[in-house]
Every structure is written in C-alpha cells, then in structure tokens.
Amino acid sequence: MLDLHTHLFNARYVPLASVIANAMGKDESHLANQVARLLEALTGSSYPEQISLVEQQFQDEDAHDEYRLEQFWSITEHELLAATGSLDGMSKGASALHGESLAAPVFGLLRSSNLMDIIESLSKIDYAAEGWAGALPSAYATVASYKSLEASLLFGDFLAWAKSVVKKALRVVTALMDPKAWGEVENYLEFFLTMLKSEETMLAKVLAGYGNDLPPLQISHYMMDMQMAYALHKPPYYSFHPVQVDRMQTLQRSNPSRVFGFSAFDPRRDDWRLRAEESLAKGFLGFKFYPAMGYKPTGNDPDIQARVDAFFDFCVERDAAIFVHCTPQGFQTRLKQGAYAHPKHWRDVLGNTRWSKLRLCLGHAGGGRMENGSLKSPGWMADSDKEWADTDNFARIVTELCTTHPNVYCEIGYITALFENDKREIFVANIERARRAAVEGNLPYDLLDKMAYGSDWHMPDMVDNTRKYLDVFLEIMNRDTYKGYLDQFFWKNAYRFLKLPS
C-alpha cells in the first residue's frame, strides 16, 4: 500500500512567524515572532510523546485546549531542564531542583540560554497592541519579567512563572488567528503540536497510525517552499536549499524504497532551475506546485509565467512528476489565493501539445464542497447531475483531465466529509458519474486507473484518524463494483505516477 500524500516537515521548515501573523491578519507581529521562536526551539524535543488526543475524553473544547497547552508546557519544561546541562536534573526531574535558587551555579547555562531569552521576550508582549482585548484566567496574570522578581527566586517559582507566560502566549496567539485562515476550521494548538515533531518521529507516527495488519506500507511526502509567499519574505529556521532538502534526503535514504520525496517549486526564485536539478540529483522524484501560495499554472505576470513555462518544459524533458494542490482552499496567505488552484488552469496547460504529456497528480482530486470568496465548488459532495456539471466543480474537471491525458492522476486525501456514511455514497455516485462520462465521451482512460489513495497526513484530522480514513476506502474498494481496482487504487496507480517498478 502507498499513501500518496503525506508531509513530514516540521516547524523549522516553514516561515512560521509569517504563517502565524498572516492568520492574525497581519504581515508582522511581535507576538507571532516570539511564538515562532518558541515553537522552533521546542521542535525535535526528546520529551516523550504523551497519549494521543483522540484517546482522551474532554468535557468541552476549552478543556481539550487546556490539555494541549499542558502538553506544550511539559515539552517546554523538559527543554528548560535540558538547558541547565545538569545530568542529575535530567535524571531526577525538575522537582528535584525546585528548591534551588535560580541564581545557583547549576542554572548558569539556563540563564544565558536561547529558550530563557524567548520566554523573557514573551513576558514583555503588549497584548493590547496585538489586538487582544479578551479576559484570561487569573493564572495568566504574571509580572512582566522574572528579572524583576527577587534575586533569591527559586527554580520552582521560576517554572510557575514561565508556565503562565508560555500558556498565555499560546492561548492568545491562537485566539487571534482566524480559525478559517486556511479554509476549514483549524485548531492551531493541535497543528502546532504535530509540527514540533522531528522528521523521524513524524514518519514513525504515520506508519504507526495505520496499524500493523496491512501489507508493506510506503509513503510519498511533499515539501513546501513558502518563504516568497509572504510579504516580508522571512526565511524559515532551516533554509530550503540546502538544509531542508538535505535533511529530507537523509530521511529518504534511511528508509529506502519506503519513503519517496518531492521537493518544491516556486517561480519567484531566480535560481529555480539549479534548485530543481539539485533536488532530482538527490533522489527526489518531482516537485510540489502550490498555487494558493501566490502563483498559477497560467495567467501570471510575464516574468513569473516565463519561469512557470520553463519549469513545465524542464519536467516534460526529464519526465519529472508534479504534485499539485487542487482545492479552492488550503494553506493560503491572507490574500486568499486558493482560486489559483482551479483545475481549469491545468486544462489549459495540458491542452497545449508542448505540455500534453506532463506527469501530474492533482492533490485531493478537487476536494469536497468548498468555498473561497465568490468561488464555490461542489467537489466530490455534488449531490445532483446539475451540481456535478457546475462550471467551477473542481472534482469534475479533475476527473476529465485524468481520463483524457496519459500522465495525469489524482489522489483523494483529506476529504473529511467521507467519515459520514451518507456523504460516502455521494462520493461513490460521483465516481460513477465520472466513469460514465468518460465512456460516453470516448475518453481513453478509466478514472479508477488514474485515482490513488492519499491521506494528507499532517493535518490534525488525518493525524488523529489515520486508520479511520484508510478504512473508509477499504470499505468502498472492497465493494463488488470496485474489487477489481483495489490494487490499482491502493498502489498500482501511484506506482505509475511515480514511475516505480512494480
């Protein structure tokens, strides 16, 4: 089995301060900058992962968020203790040092650490200037700086102060972020927790999420080059080239024939060709193309379009694969450019004989029912012939491209409506609409020879429901109508797209 849509990058791979500020409706935010520093510092912590959120029972969402905040604090406390350099402290735990003065020699390294500076900076945030006017629990009422406390401050008291600072910053920043900034309602605390994991831990979590009763599991993961999408062009903690690419190459080489990777393309990079050549030379199979980040397959400004066209030529010449985000929403900036992912643009590209053999996979296969401003796509949740035929139905256009062009595929990740049984039947009905249309139009390919399984693992609903999402498609593909396509859907179609030997 091959999951054709996963992500294994963490908080250090994205321009996190810009991502957070944009969701707050800004280009720049001191709070976003300092929270990003905190999350970057915590990323890859050796603190052992706690029980999955999906296994917990909570009275309400506030209680759920409080649990998440406690997880953040546990990781932070672990890293503060690690910053002391004290082997005794790490082995016995923070409580063993609670009675020590913060001025004691054992805390010398901690006092000068990056994490201490981050927490001190967070304590000085002007929340009113950031746009926060709400009330907070009394536990978040803190002095501005630990340095203003008594010189004899005990480590235990310092930890209590730091805990309130960290939890306040995370609670406020996520409250100020638009929950629909990326389309569907997002719980940013949960997303950030996932983003703290190391690449190796993420991979292990993907594989564990599927259970141990399946055939050998392979995954394809996608990188994203997001820096140029944001107004200030702030770099991520890890530069895309060479650091991110090299780290992912190492992960792939450590898991040969099990993990396949795609680098990323951004036409705003003057040196895109050098980056692309280096990525292919390092074993990446192709490139992620993410229109919501501010560029389209067609219709860009002339300089950008010239680079996009040259990139398509490059990929056709090398038969390199392109995986494209294809829903009206997604990881977009506050400019809300999700409409750039409209598959009509790919119809124009593929209609040009210059690029008709482009090797392309349309991620999410157009997605479910979604809106982005005036753009409305019924997607795979179209519940009538009229809706399916809608001019802006991403899903229908995707199926037409797949059944028309030799190297065009789609994957079906992150359509959460399919967890509902009635929505599942709508999805199946639309598969049949698309297959009938291909036969009636005398098109050369059956949709089920072009559609592949994917999850979009990285998004919280997929992290918490990895096996549940797979089970949706196991149920569908084991129906009598589709049993003959089970292997195609779960691995053979992906193999053809990726050009893997079968």
String of b and e for 144-157 (b: at least 16 CB within 10 Å)? Answer: eebeeeeeebbbeb
What is the DSSP code string of 59-79? SSHHHHHHHHHHHHHHHHHHH
- Is 481 inside any structural domain? yes
Distance, in Å, from the CA atom of 242 to the CA atom of 238, rounded to the nearest integer, reads 9
Q: Are residues 88 and 132 in the same domain?
A: yes
> Does one domain contain both 161 and 212?
no
Residues 152 and 240 in one domain: no
251-268, pLDDT tens digit by residue?
999 999 999 999 999 999
Residue range 284-313, pLDDT digits in tens: 999 999 999 999 999 999 999 999 999 999
Q: What per-residue confidence (pLDDT) applies to 56?
A: 64
Flag the least confident range among 11-25, 142-156, 329-343: 142-156
Secondary structure of residue 137 in the 3-state scheme: coil
Cα(91)–Cα(456) distance, integer angstroms: 38
CATH number of the domain bearing residue 431: 3.20.20
9 occurs within a structural domain: no
Is residue 11 one of the residues assigned to a domain?
no
Q: Please, which residues have CB within 8 angstroms of residue 475's CB and are 6 or more apart in sequence?
A: 424
pLDDT, residue 62, reads 85
**Does the residue 3 lie in any domain?**
no
Q: How many CB atoms within 10 Å of residue 67?
A: 15
Question: What are the tens digits of pLDDT across the range 418-450?
Answer: 999 999 999 999 999 999 999 999 999 999 999
- Has residue 19 been placed in a domain? no
Q: In what helix (H) or strand (E) does residue 411 lie, and over which residues does it extend?
A: strand 408-411
E strand or H helix that includes residue 273: helix 272-281
Provide the b/e sequence for 327-354 (b: ≥16 CB within 10 Å): bbbbbbbbebbbbbbbbebbbebbeeee
Structure token digits, residue 323: 């995986």
Cβ contacts of residue 239 below 8 Å, gap of 6+?
A: none
Could you tell me if 407 and 359 are in contact, meaning their C-beta atoms sit under 8 angstroms apart? yes
Overall domain count for the chain: 2
Residue finishing a domain among 125, 141, 176: 176
Q: DSSP label at 44?
A: T
Question: Is 20 domain-assigned?
Answer: no
pLDDT above 60: residue 54 = no
Residue 34 has pLDDT above 80, yes or no: yes
* CA 465 to chain CA centroid, nearest Å: 15
Chosen domain end from 176, 211, 238 = 176
Same domain membership, residue 188 and residue 39? no
Distance of alpha carbon 460 from alpha carbon 19, whole angstroms: 17
Q: Which of 176, 207, 222 is the last residue of a domain?
A: 176
Asked whether residue 289 falls in the same domain as residue 346, the answer is yes
Domain that holds residue 134: 25-176
Mean pLDDT confidence for 2-12 = 99
Residue 223 and residue 339 in one domain? yes
Residues 325-342, mean pLDDT to the nearest whole number = 94
Percent pLDDT > 70 in the chain is 95
**242, 331: one domain:** yes
For residues 69-78, give the mean pLDDT. 97
User: What is the rounded average pLDDT for all residues in the chain?
Assistant: 95
The token duo for 13 is 């791979």
Task: Pull the structure tokens for residue 301.
Answer: 């400004």
Across residues 86-94, what is the average pLDDT?
A: 90
> Are residues 406 and 382 located together in one domain of the fold?
yes
Of 56-60, 192-196, 256-260, 408-412, the one with minimum mean pLDDT is: 56-60
Q: What is the pLDDT of residues 202-253, one digit of tens each?
A: 999 999 999 999 999 999 999 999 999 999 999 999 999 999 999 999 999 9
Q: Which of the two residues, 136 and 11, has the higher pLDDT score?
A: 11
In a domain, 246, yes or no: yes
Looking at the whole model, is its pTM more than 0.75?
Answer: yes
8-state DSSP, 381: G
Q: Report whether pLDDT(53) > 50.
A: no
Instruction: Answer yes or no: is 250 within a domain.
Output: yes
220 and 105 housed in the same domain: no
* 148: confidence class by pLDDT, cuts 50, 70, 90: low
Looking at the fold, whether 279 and 412 belong to one and the same domain comes out as yes
Pair 297, 445 in one domain:
yes
Identify whether residues 292 and 407 lie together within a single domain: yes
- Maximum CA extent, the chain: 82
pLDDT at 142 over 80: no
